[in-house]
Chain A
Amino acid sequence: MTEPVTTYSCPNCGKTYETEDECKAHIAFCDRTRAERESLIGRWAEGNHGGITAIGRIDSVTGNGVWIRGLVVSECFGRFSLDKMPQVFAYEDVRVFDSVADARERWHLAVKDVADHLLETSIPGVDE
């Protein structure tokens, strides 16, 4: 015998909850976050999501995540890509910059981090 399980889900982000109260509490939070993020459309920002760093301008909001149009640093099996992307989704971690100069500086730092990381992981001197 299996009991049917009722779940409640957030219309913004799709997260599910077992109780209506939990879900309502989440939706209130999620709505607030979404409204905040909608007010950031057009701003220069950085978003980190699933190991990808996107730097550019906030294009639109979906659920309570933002779409960033700009540059991306990502890794796939030790190969780091620096790409231009029309849209990258960032959900958890979104920070806005005061100016394009700040965004540019942050881009350089993000790339430099990768350069440092690669320098540390490549040790061609070990055989001597």
Chain B
Amino acid sequence: MNRTNGLFAPYRCLVCYREFADRDERDAHSAECQALADRAKALVGCWVRARHGDVDVVGKVRGVDGPDPIIEGLEISGGYMVVDTCIQIGAVEADELVALESEDMAAEVWHDIVADHAERIWNDARGAME
């Protein structure tokens, strides 16, 4: 028997372990969460582009943690660029996690993404420079 008083949330998502007070809510969330995990698992070993908010990532999917792909590759977000072997990114929308055909394609996409960021940074700063 489960009793909910706001302090005790008895239902957990089996994918991300988030807690819910309501079972139906948990079930609805879990279905979505599982779909994200399945999508990420299907991409293990593939070159991908992933995005979450201002964070852009290009690399290979190495594994999955909960619903999120773990990517080895390159990351750029507003102010920094880095190589990382273990980037966890919560790409929720379908267009935020996209498979890429090849390493060459990944390099091309990386350069396009970086150029976009560079342009945005330039435009943001332009007023302060002039």
Contact = CB atoms under 8 A, between A and B. Distances in A.
Given A71-B125, A80-B80, A124-B60, A57 B74 contact: no
B108 to A, nearest CB: 10
Contact of A108 (B83, B118, B130): B118
Interface stretch (B20-28, B35-43, B109-117): B109-117
Interface band, chain A: 20 to 34
Interface in B58-82: 59-60, 72-74, 78-82
Interface residues of B, number: 28
A124 B58 CA distance: 11
B129 interface: yes
A115 interface: yes
Most central of B60, B111, B117, B125 by chain A CB within 10 Å: B125
B107 interface: yes
B119 interface: yes
A82 B77 CA distance: 9
A79 B72 contact: no
B13 to A, nearest CB: 30
A27 to B, nearest CB: 33
Given A80-B82, A118-B81, A125-B103, A108 B115 contact: yes
Interface string A91-128: 00000000010001001100110110011011011000
Interface of A: 56-57, 69-71, 78-84, 86, 100, 104, 107-108, 111-112, 114-115, 118-119, 121-122, 124-125
8 contacts: A56-B129, A82-B78, A83-B79, A86-B128, A107-B122, A114-B114, A121-B83, A122-B73
Q: Which 8 interchain pairs have the tightest Cβ spacing?
A: A111-B118, A115-B114, A122-B83, A84-B125, A80-B81, A124-B60, A124-B72, A79-B82
